[in-house]
Amino acid sequence: MSELPTDHDWMARAIQLAARGLYTTEPNPRVGCVLVHAGELVGEGWHLRAGEGHAEVNALRQAGPRARGATAYVTLEPCSHFGKTPPCADALINAGVSRVVAAMQDPNPLVAGQGLARLHAAGIEVSCGVLEAEARQLNPGFIKRMQQGLPWVRLKLAMSLDGRTAMASGESQWITGAEARADVQRLRARSGAVVSGADSVLLDDSALTVRAAELGLEPELAQAAAQRQPLRVLIDGRLRVPLSQRLFREPGAVLVVCSDTAGREADYQAHQAELLALPGSHGRVDLAQLLAELARRGCNEVLIESGAALAGAFWQAGLVDELIVYMAPRLLGSRARPLLELPFDSMAEAMDVRITDLRAVGNDWRITARPLPVGTD
């Protein structure tokens, strides 16, 4: 590089570091930090998992005495309160850092700006907003949970080129290739919870687990991701799924949500599963309440992997933030099942989405889309 790196360059590095925590930091945010002294990189750090060092502390440890007079680039405003670890704002002050550049403020409206104010009060030059859009993309779920008490919800679906998912009989199999399946594994791994419904679990006997070997990540990250495992949530309104299914045999926490527990809590507990009643209307489970409950338990990102009926219910209730559709180069024919069960009768009911990303994943295509708020063009 002939020119000196800019604030943007260093922040881009900090964002790269933060992304190393993509699969492991839940319920905490992914954060990266870079320390630069007289134009030279002296320390790097990122947050790996809850209960362990924050990004700033890890970077300060690497820099040692060279942190004095350095600039700290942090992807999120340094914390100013005692959590599981002491506040990073104090650690930066004590290390003698002279300038702090943050990408964004703490999304929690109750603490936003306090970390930066604390640094400023200690005589440190402070600025905020460098690569903010990129930094926000690291933590859509953490931001939404802090601001709305709800997780970021992704609805994942797989379809043929003609928009079908399974035969009318229900007969189905993976219609996408190995690369797309690894991509789904990574979506699971970054989520706090994976949600499925009784119909799909009965049909596929899926365990909804994260498997290190299938993630396609470097071994160290894959191991850490598989060690964490998202909470597996089964929506089973009438408790139809037997406890002999793989979902209950694989290790890890399972939450079964029904409309009436019918006094069966102990049966489920014996299989390391928790039974929770969240009755909604028409004997169905209250999906909005479920999401609020998952946020309360610290889930930032939630992945829904279900059949067309439950997927349609989440979508129609306006609870989906992101639609992720894998499209396989295959035709399943006109008698096969549709992607979403949305029983529309007129064009007036049609729903528009905004496609935000489209890319090849192996032989398949991945389409990412967001719902458009009602009344927008």
Q: Which is nearer to Zn ion, 88 or 273 (CB)?
A: 88
Q: Is 72 in the site for Zn ion (CB under 5 A)?
A: no
Q: Which is nearer to Zn ion, 58 or 71 (CB)?
A: 58
Assess contact for 65 and 74: CB atoms under 8 A. Answer: no
Q: Is 42 in the site for Zn ion (CB under 5 A)?
A: no
d(CA 221, CA 55) in angstroms, rounded, equals 16
The nearest distance, CB 31 to Zn ion, in angstroms, is 7
Of the residues 13, 20, 30, 54, which one makes contact with Zn ion according to CB under 5 A: 54
- DSSP letter at 74 equals E
Query: Which region among 51-59, 152-160, 238-246, 255-263 touches Zn ion (by CB under 5 A)?
Result: 51-59
- DSSP letter at 321 equals S
The nearest distance, CB 296 to Zn ion, in angstroms, is 22
Of 44, 56, 77, 322, which one is the catalytic site residue?
Answer: 56
Assess contact for 143 and 107: CB atoms under 8 A. Answer: yes
The closest alpha carbon to 354, from 376, 328, 330, 326, belongs to: 376
CA atoms 217, 222, 226, 231: torsion sign: negative
Query: Which region among 77-85, 152-160, 217-225, 363-371 touches Zn ion (by CB under 5 A)?
Result: 77-85
**Token pair listed for 270:** 């014996």
The nearest distance, CB 338 to Zn ion, in angstroms, is 46
Q: Which is nearer to Zn ion, 54 or 164 (CB)?
A: 54
Q: Which is nearer to Zn ion, 22 or 336 (CB)?
A: 22
Of the residues 48, 63, 79, 311, which one makes contact with Zn ion according to CB under 5 A: 79
Q: Which is nearer to Zn ion, 54 or 156 (CB)?
A: 54
| 265 is annotated as an active-site residue | no
For the chain, give the longest Cα–Cα distance. Answer: 71
Phi, psi values for residue 25, rounded to 5°: -85, -15
Q: Is 88 in the site for Zn ion (CB under 5 A)?
A: yes
Assess contact for 32 and 17: CB atoms under 8 A. Answer: yes
d(CA 251, CA 272) in angstroms, rounded, equals 8
Q: Is 194 in the site for Zn ion (CB under 5 A)?
A: no
Q: What positions carry a catalytic annotation?
A: 56
What are the residues binding Zn ion (CB under 5 A)?
A: 54, 79, 88
